[in-house]
Structure formats: C-alpha cells, structure tokens
C-alpha cells in the first residue's frame, strides 16, 4: 500500500473511532446522572496478572516490560496499534486487562465503556519529542521553544486544556498566523488515534502534541506537516528520514535514547492497568 493510501486509511480509522467515542458520550449525557462507582477485578500489582492476557501498545514500554519472560513467564500479550485499540480489546473481552497512559484513560471517560482502573503502576516516564539523530539543530531549536513556553506558562495551559478533561469537550485554539508561514515544512510523525495527545478529527489533526508542534512551527517560522503511523514504526521512520520529528507520547528510555535524539521532556506520564468493571 502506498504512503498516501496508507495515511488515508490511518486517518479514516482515527475518525471512525473518534466518532464512536463522541456518540457514546452524547448518549451518556442524554441519559443524565453520574455513573455508579464500579468494582474492578482483583488486580493490585503486575504480579496479579500472572496467567492473564494483557493488551498493550506494540513497542511500548509496557510491551517491553511484560515481554520479559524471566519475570512474567505466564502473561500473554495482545499487541495493539493504538491506545484506543487496547480499550476496544478489553471491552470486547479479547484481553483480561490493558495497560496504557492514565490521562488517556481519564479523557476517554472509561465508565461509558464499562471499564475501570485496577491499579496505577509505580513511577512514571518523561515524555519528549523525538528527532532524527542527524538533526541536532532542529532539536536544539525545539528545546529553546520549550524553555519559552514553560517560562510563560503556556505549556501548563496546554496540558491543563487537553489532559484534565474529556477530549470531546476541547477545541484547538485558533492560530491564524499559521496560514502565513512559508517555506519547506518539517515533517512530523505522530499517532492518528491517541486522544488527547494526537488524533484526527473533522479532517484536521488535533490534540495536545499537535498543538505543541503547531506552536513550534510558529516559533520556528516554518510550516509543519503531520503523518500518522503505528507507534512501533516511529523510530524507524525517524531513521529513514521520512520525518524530521515525532510526537507520540513517547517515553524517554535508554534503549530509545540510543536510537533517536530526544528533546527535553514536556510531560510526565503515569500508566494504569484497567479491566472490565464487575
């Protein structure tokens, strides 16, 4: 499948899932009232997942962690392309539980899917933009941009906008100056179905990390062009030079840092295990 057809397919998949989530939210709102608190499966730690089937994003830190057969010999993994794919898999009963970003779970209104959080994994990870290892100048420029938006409070404003509420209630701020940008665009690899960080809605890219890169394009004075990929393709895409940068809620890990050039972090991610509510 050519890249153009492939991107159109990824865009369509993201639009279908976003539309489905919005329909669920609207039906829930029409019924009125808050959901009743849900009880969850008897999972309290990763050790409780022994003998279970767990859904993870392919290539994610959860995938790497639970693939360690010395520590988790009896866990079966279902590797999904996107975080919303994890939710679909658990909701359908294909997996006993799933592990993904805690903010993703919160913004997707888990109660409407009959799901609930079992436990939060200890610690967390810094999230950063990734760059082609040969493009140190672009990464340095992005770090200068981060210093500026942290100092002005804009980064905190963006995180509050996208990460503290359901994603269907948030709109991308207007940035009319984007239309004035000229020159060769820098290519950004991202995920088309990773609300609230990046997703494709109404023929437009949106989400926290999309806003971040759009604001960076204003700072750099260059247009930006987004392409959607599966998470486990991102590192290879950067090495192939099909993208100049990537934003995909990617954790900074030693293995990845040996392959791509990470910016300074802009978000600290915690992960949760969730399952069907009992």
List the CATH number of the domain containing 204: 3.40.190.10
* Token digits of residue 208: 């926290």
- With a cut of 90, say whether residue 4 has pLDDT above it: no
- Select from 213, 218, 223, 142 the least CA-distant residue to 175: 218
Residue 108: band (very low, low, confident or very high) from pLDDT cuts 50, 70, 90: confident
- Residue at 276 is within a domain: no
Most confident of 120-129, 148-157, 182-191, 193-202: 148-157
Q: What's the gap between Cα 84 and its chain centre?
A: 9
- With a cut of 70, say whether residue 171 has pLDDT above it: yes
Question: Is the pLDDT higher at 266 or at 17?
Answer: 266
Q: What are phi and psi of 172, to 5 degrees?
A: -65, 130
Question: Is the pLDDT higher at 204 or at 153?
Answer: 153
- With a cut of 50, say whether residue 136 has pLDDT above it: yes
Task: Provide mean pLDDT across the span 238-244.
Answer: 90
On the question of a cis peptide bond just before residue 196, with omega within 30 degrees of 0, the verdict is yes
Last residue of a domain, one of 100, 125, 150: 125
pLDDT of residue 160: 93
Model pTM?
A: 0.81
106 and 222 housed in the same domain: no
13 and 110 housed in the same domain: yes
16 and 120 housed in the same domain: yes
Task: Provide mean pLDDT across the span 142-162.
Answer: 97
pLDDT of residue 260: 94
pLDDT of residue 3: 44
Q: Contact 40/118 with Cβ under 8 angstroms?
A: yes
109 and 164 housed in the same domain: no
Residue 57: band (very low, low, confident or very high) from pLDDT cuts 50, 70, 90: very high
66 and 174 housed in the same domain: no
Residue 40: band (very low, low, confident or very high) from pLDDT cuts 50, 70, 90: low
Q: Contact 170/161 with Cβ under 8 angstroms?
A: yes
Q: For residues 143 and 265, what is the distance between their CA atoms, to the nearest angstrom?
A: 9
Residue 16: band (very low, low, confident or very high) from pLDDT cuts 50, 70, 90: very low
Residue 15: band (very low, low, confident or very high) from pLDDT cuts 50, 70, 90: very low
Quote the percentage of the chain above a pLDDT of 70. 85
Task: Provide mean pLDDT across the span 14-39.
Answer: 38
Task: Provide mean pLDDT across the span 78-84.
Answer: 90
Sign of the CA dihedral with 263 first, then 267, 271, and 275 last: negative
- With a cut of 60, say whether residue 22 has pLDDT above it: no
Q: For residues 122 and 134, what is the distance between their CA atoms, to the nearest angstrom?
A: 34
Q: For residues 46 and 58, what is the distance between their CA atoms, to the nearest angstrom?
A: 18
Task: Provide mean pLDDT across the span 25-42.
Answer: 43
**5-10: long-range contacts at Cβ-Cβ below 8 A with a sequence spacing of 24 or more?**
7/227, 7/228, 10/192, 10/193, 10/200, 10/228, 10/229
Please return the burial class of 159, using the count of CB atoms within 10 Å of its CB with bins 0-12, 13-18 and 19+. middle
138 and 243 housed in the same domain: yes
131 and 60 housed in the same domain: no
Residue 149: band (very low, low, confident or very high) from pLDDT cuts 50, 70, 90: very high
Instruction: Give how many domains the chain has, as a whole number.
Output: 2
Least confident of 104-118, 152-166, 258-272: 104-118
- With a cut of 50, say whether residue 11 has pLDDT above it: no
- Residue at 275 is within a domain: no
118 and 132 housed in the same domain: no
106 and 145 housed in the same domain: no
* Token digits of residue 46: 């990763």
Q: For residues 159 and 136, what is the distance between their CA atoms, to the nearest angstrom?
A: 26
Three-state DSSP at 133 gives: coil
Residue showing tokens 């990845």: 256
- Select from 118, 198, 124, 122 the least CA-distant residue to 158: 198
Enclosing domain of residue 86: 3-125
pLDDT of residue 161: 93
């Amino acid at each position: 499948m050519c890249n153009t057809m492939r991107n159109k397919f990824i865009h369509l998949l993201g639009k279908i899932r976003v539309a489905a989530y919005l329909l669920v939210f609207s039906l829930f709102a029409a019924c009125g009232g808050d959901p009743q608190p849900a009880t969850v499966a008897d999972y309290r730690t990763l050790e409780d997942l022994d003998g279970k089937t767990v859904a993870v994003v392919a290539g994610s830190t959860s995938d790497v962690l639970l693939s360690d057969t010395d520590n988790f010999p009896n866990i079966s993994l279902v590797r999904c392309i996107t975080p919303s794919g994890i939710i679909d898999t658990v909701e359908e009963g294909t997996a006993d539980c799933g592990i993904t970003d805690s903010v993703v779970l919160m913004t997707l209104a888990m109660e409407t899917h009959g799901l609930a959080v079992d436990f939060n994994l200890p610690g967390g990870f810094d999230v950063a933009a990734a760059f082609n290892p040969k493009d140190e100048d672009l990464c340095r420029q992005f770090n200068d941009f981060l210093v500026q938006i942290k100092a002005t409070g804009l980064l905190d404003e963006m995180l509050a906008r996208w990460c503290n509420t359901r994603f269907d209630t948030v709109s991308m701020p207007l940035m009319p100056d984007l239309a004035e940008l000229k020159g060769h665009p820098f290519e950004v690899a991202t995920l088309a179905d990773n609300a609230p960080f990046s997703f494709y809605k109404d023929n437009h890219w949106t989400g926290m990390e999309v806003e971040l890169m759009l604001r960076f394009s204003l700072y750099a004075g260059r247009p930006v062009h987004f392409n959607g990929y599966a998470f486990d393709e991102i590192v290879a895409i950067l090495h192939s030079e099909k993208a100049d940068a990537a934003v995909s809620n990617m954790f900074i890990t030693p293995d990845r840092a040996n392959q791509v050039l990470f910016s300074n972090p802009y978000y600290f991610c915690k992960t949760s295990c969730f399952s069907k509510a009992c």
